[in-house]
Structure formats: C-alpha cells, structure tokens
Amino acid sequence: MKRLIWLGLLAVLNIPQAQALNQEIRALFQPDPSKPDKRTFINQTPNTGYCASFPNQCASHNMFSIELPVRFTSSRYLDLFDWAAVKAPANWRRLSVINQQTQETQQLEVRVIGMGSKYVLNRPAVEIAGGANALEGHRRLWTSDSWAHGVPAPCQYSGAGDHGPDWFRFFWKTPSEAHCFKVPGHHIKWMYFDKLDFAYELRTPDPFKMSTGRYTGSLTYSLGPGADFDMGKLFEPDVSTLTLDFVLDVQHTLKVDIPPGGDKVVLEPQGGWQRWLDSGRKPSRLFRDQIFHISASSKFTMKLECEHRLASASGCAIVDGLQGAGGVDVSVSLPNGLTDSAGQAVKRMRLGVEATAPFQPGFYIDRKPGTLHFEVDEQQTHWMIDKAQGRPYRGNITVIWDSEVG
C-alpha cells in the first residue's frame, strides 16, 4: 500500500506545468551633434528569427524581430470546418520605466507589428493534399493558398516565406489586433507551430526630458487560445506568459568649457579704473562677464560654492584679508534652446548656494556660448572703495553645473 501511494505522488509531481518566458529588450539614447533634434533610441537587441533570416525584407519594412522557443501544438486533428489563426497584441500598450538611480518614472509604449512561426505537419503536404511538389502541396492544403501568398485580412504579407516537405515558415504584418484565419482544405491529423516570431515597435519617452541612467520596466503578455498571442482555438502553447523586460539606457552629455584664463575673473568698473579716477567719482558697479561654452542634452541645475560669504547676503563675497568684504552677485545667461523650469529663456538668472530649478534643453545643445555675470552693486562698490586700504579684494567662487537631477 505504501508503494502504491508513493507511485501516485510521483505521478502528480511529474505533471508538466505551464511555463513563463522572459525576454529582455534594450535601447540606447546618445545625443548626436550632427542631428541636435534627434530623439531616437537605438535598439540594442540582436535580431533573431525572421529578420535574422531575411534582413533585407525587414530593412525595407523597418521591422525588427525576436524568435522565442514557444511551441503551439494542436489538441486534436484539424478538419474542413476548423481553423488556425494568427492574432498579435497589435494595439499600443503602455508601461512605466523607472530610473534605477533617481527613481524618475517615464512612460513607454509598445505594440507588436508582425508575427510568424513555422508550422510542422504530421506528414508531407503532398501526401495530405496532393500536388506536383512541396510548395503546391502546401498551397492545396489550405482553402486560401499558402501561408505566404494567401495572407488573410487584416494581416499582410511581409515579403518572404520558406518551406520544406512537411513544414512552412511564414511571417505576417499585423496592423490590427484581430484574428487572421486560415481554413484547412484537407484533414490534418496533427500539426504544431514551432517557435514564436514577432516584430515590435516602441514609442519611447522624450530623452531630452529624461535624466542620465538606466530605466527598466516590464510588460507581460498571455499566450494561447483567446490570449494576446493566439494561433487558433485548437493550439495550446507550452508557455503561458511572455514578459518583455525593457531597459532604456540614457547617456546624456553635459560639458562646460571655459576659455583659457577664464578662471581668473577681475572685477572692474565700466570703461576701466582710469576713467573714474580722472573724473573723481566713484563707479556705480564692478563687474565682469565671462563667456563659457556648454554642451547639454538633459536637464541640469547650477549653484555656487563660496570661499567667503556675507551674513546678510545669499551669494558669495570677496575680502581684503582683514575685515573688509564685499558681496558679489553671480547670474547666468544660457544659449537659445535651454530654458528655465517655466519654459522661459534664461537671461541673467541669479545663482546662489542652493541649486536652481532644473534648466531644460529643447534639443541637443552642442558647444553653444553662455555667459556668467559677476557684479558688485553700487552700495557694495562704494563701501569697498571707502574701506580700501591698498589691499586687493579676493575670493574663490565655484560655479557647479550638476546633471544629477532627481
């Protein structure tokens, strides 16, 4: 009795279970200086299946395919009133992708634009349907020609097919999410579809609104009769779900170049000191405009680090080494194409020790000129002149451009 129970347990444990399948899809964005408006992600997932066998056909139709080890097997014979079919998840579906460093979320959309496989018969098509050769046998086997030239609506011919005595490989474009039926013209004892080929299309987020980093997200499809990927009511898959794991790799550019000598900023009055010394009047301000060149493809912030600060001011200061100190205002003007958080042009925006709201490029900015404005206002200028004792006012002010924006 114990032996019989043990054998029964073994039988239950060995019942095959429907499996799940995962497939990673990667795409990369890098800014292109020759095409500053380019927002295209480049697919990094190698072609397999149909597009690996017929690369010219896929190139002419802008298609990309993945082949997966999924088998759809007929649960019984197919007769004259039965049918096989192709139905793909052709409608756009949306998923969230999340930056693994900043946790920033973006929306990605995907649809399947083509689907195919290779059907395998229990014996050669000529033996089932007759004909002078294998191709004619496959054409006679179905009521609407072969699976290459007799493509039922709404599916469309993709441009190529292949066959052998007992198998036929096909791939159809799927412009809508509907069944495309093929009805047998002869009794087929059994058959199966070997592998699942599909081509897809992505609607990616605007990379210029994304931070640098890796964004990941997943979308799960069902397989089988009445499911997302469906080969007909009689065809059961050996895999019940397919999960596409998306990885969007965003590699932005943020580079700032200061001309030689630009790290030494000398503040002077308008027209130089001699003009004011000759007039006997105090200048109304001290200033210097420093040009820089910026390349940017993503949002960034700016802030200051000060060697010296005034307790009464939010900016930096320069000091004479004793007790004299004067406040220095720093502002920035950015080139066209870079805007503030409200979408406005950036002209003399005040910088401080706290980071600004993010600046945002509308397209790739490639080595365009911007300006840092350093200025001591009239009150501070007069105070510094009155307190001057023949010592220069000095101080280090560090300007930080930061692309690590959460």
Show me where the domains of the chain are located: 16-250, 254-402
Pick the closest to residue 357 from 296, 400, 302, 316 (CA basis): 302
For residue 385, what are the contacts with CB-CB under 8 A and spacing of at least 6?
A: 282
**pLDDT attached to residue 11:** 35
Alpha carbon 45 to its chain's center: 13
| C-alpha span between 170 and 117 (Å, rounded) | 6
**pLDDT attached to residue 406:** 59
Neighbours of 122 (CB within 10 A): 14
| C-alpha span between 51 and 53 (Å, rounded) | 5
Report helix, strand or coil for 325: strand
Q: Residue 240 burial by CB count (10 A; 0-12/13-18/19+): exposed, middle or buried? A: middle
Q: Can you state the percent helix, strand and coil of the chain, rounding each to 5?
A: 15, 45, 45
Query: Cβ(137)–Cβ(129) under 8 Å?
Result: yes
For residue 406 the two structure tokens come to: 């959460």
Query: Cβ(252)–Cβ(403) under 8 Å?
Result: yes
**pLDDT attached to residue 312:** 65
Query: Cβ(287)–Cβ(376) under 8 Å?
Result: yes
β-partners of residue 304 are 399
- Whether the bond into 154 is cis, omega within 30 of 0: yes
| C-alpha span between 314 and 330 (Å, rounded) | 10
Number of residues assigned to the chain: 406
**pLDDT attached to residue 274:** 86
Residue for token pair 């699942």: 196
pLDDT in tens, 168-188: 999 999 999 999 999 999 999
| C-alpha span between 209 and 104 (Å, rounded) | 11
Pick the closest to residue 397 from 334, 333, 318, 344 (CA basis): 318
Low-confidence ranges of the chain (pLDDT < 50): 1-17
For residue 262, give Cα distances in angstroms to 257, 259, 288, 371, 399: 10, 5, 11, 11, 12
pLDDT in tens, 304-333: 999 998 876 678 999 987 767 889 999 999
Query: Cβ(202)–Cβ(110) under 8 Å?
Result: yes
Instruction: Tell me the CB-side half-sphere exposure of residue 67, using CA atoms within 13 A.
Output: 16
| Longest distance between any two alpha carbons in the chain, whole Å | 119
β-partners of residue 345 are 339
Helix (H) or strand (E) holding 241: strand 239-250
**pLDDT attached to residue 7:** 34
**pLDDT attached to residue 16:** 42
Pick the closest to residue 71 from 240, 291, 315, 250 (CA basis): 240
Pick the closest to residue 118 from 142, 140, 148, 90 (CA basis): 148
Residue 98's φ and ψ, nearest 5 degrees, are -120, 130
Is 254-402 a domain of CATH 2.60.40? Answer: yes
| C-alpha span between 119 and 161 (Å, rounded) | 12
The percentage of the chain sitting over the pLDDT mark of 90, rounded to a whole number, equals 78
User: Residue 131 carries which side chain, given as an amino acid letter?
Assistant: G
**pLDDT attached to residue 387:** 82
